């Protein structure tokens, strides 16, 4: 069955370190998204991609970057982790067009000490 | 800009009863879609139901139905015959055609089903 996976599921890191969160989907979806979820803020879009070599900033993109070298993967990199980036991170993917829902990965809980 | 508002931060419902979760939205785009997701305590986001702005009928998926009132810009989720497993956070989200494939989420409503 097609799926979307994230790794690691839990990560503890220190302030200033570079961290990369992996997202892999086997749906063959063109669209991929990264969100963060914090208490009191719901889900906020970090970056998104509509296809290979395409990346776009979301509403909370500062301190994060993504790259899309193939259809299946959209890794999220925190260039220099900050305590404010402690959060739960969700990756999602979808087909193009309105009727199609985004399907979410299981999430990665990141703690920056 | 798109905006989703869920005014009920939390609610209790008795098992086997129906519950309505409110969602209002704001967009100037005539072409848009509305989505509901469930997030149980385990954390995953589960897609429940979709309603398109041009759909003539309210969407239904099993025990989930969407009360879509376009003129009032509301898209309330109705869960019939609540079960203990329905206890979760529920998010309303919108995607407007002009905004591409991005979703805008509401703040969520927590539902607790009482036995």
Q: Which residue in B43, B95, B107 is closest to A98 by CB distance?
A: B95
The CA distance from B88 to B65, in Å, is: 17
At A25-70, the pLDDT tens digits run 999 999 999 999 998 678 999 999 999 999 999 999 999 999 999 9
Segment B1-22, tens digit of pLDDT:
789 999 998 999 999 999 999 9
Please report the pLDDT score of residue A97 as a whole number.
Answer: 78
Distance separating alpha carbons of residues A49 and A31, to the nearest angstrom: 6
**Span A21-35, pLDDT tens digits:** 999 999 999 999 999
Q: Which residues lie below 8 Å from residue A109, measured CB to CB, with a gap of 6+?
A: A9, A10, A11, A88, A89
How many residues would you count in chain A? 113
Quote the tokens at residue B5.
């508002």
In angstroms, what CA-CA distances link B28 with A35, B12, B53? Answer: 24, 34, 12
When CB atoms are compared, the residue of A31, A45, A103 closest to B47 is A103
- Closest among A85, A31, A33, A73 to A57, alpha carbons compared: A33
**How close A91 comes to chain B (CA, Å)?**
10
Round to whole Å and give the CA distance between B49 and B38.
Answer: 10
What does the alpha-carbon distance between residue A41 and residue B66 come to, in Å, rounded to a whole number?
24
The token pair at B54 is 């041009």
User: Scanning every residue of chain A, which has its alpha carbon at the shortest distance from the alpha carbon of B40?
Assistant: A106
């Amino acid at each position: 069955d097609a799926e979307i996976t994230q790794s690691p599921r839990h990560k503890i890191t220190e302030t200033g370190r570079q961290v990369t969160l992996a997202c892999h989907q086997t749906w063959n979806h063109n669209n991929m998204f990264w969100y963060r979820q914090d208490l009191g803020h719901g889900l906020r879009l970090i970056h998104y991609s509509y296809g290979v070599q395409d990346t776009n900033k979301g509403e909370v993109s500062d301190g994060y970057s993504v790259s899309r070298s193939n259809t299946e993967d959209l890794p999220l990199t925190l260039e220099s982790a900050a305590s404010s980036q402690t959060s739960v991170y969700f990756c999602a993917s979808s087909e193009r067009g309105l009727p199609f829902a985004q399907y979410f990965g299981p999430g990665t809980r990141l703690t920056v000490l | 800009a798109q905006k989703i508002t869920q005014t009920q931060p939390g609610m209790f419902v008795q098992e086997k009863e129906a519950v309505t979760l409110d969602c209002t939205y704001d967009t100037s785009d005539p072409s848009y879609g509305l989505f509901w997701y469930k997030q149980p305590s385990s954390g995953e986001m589960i897609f429940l139901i979709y309603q398109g702005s041009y759909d003539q009928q309210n969407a239904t998926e099993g025990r989930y139905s969407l009360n879509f009132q376009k003129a009032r810009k509301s898209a309330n989720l109705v869960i019939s015959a609540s079960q203990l497993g329905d206890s979760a956070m529920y998010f309303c989200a919108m995607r407007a055609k002009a905004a591409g494939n991005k979703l805008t989420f509401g703040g969520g409503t927590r539902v607790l089903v009482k036995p």
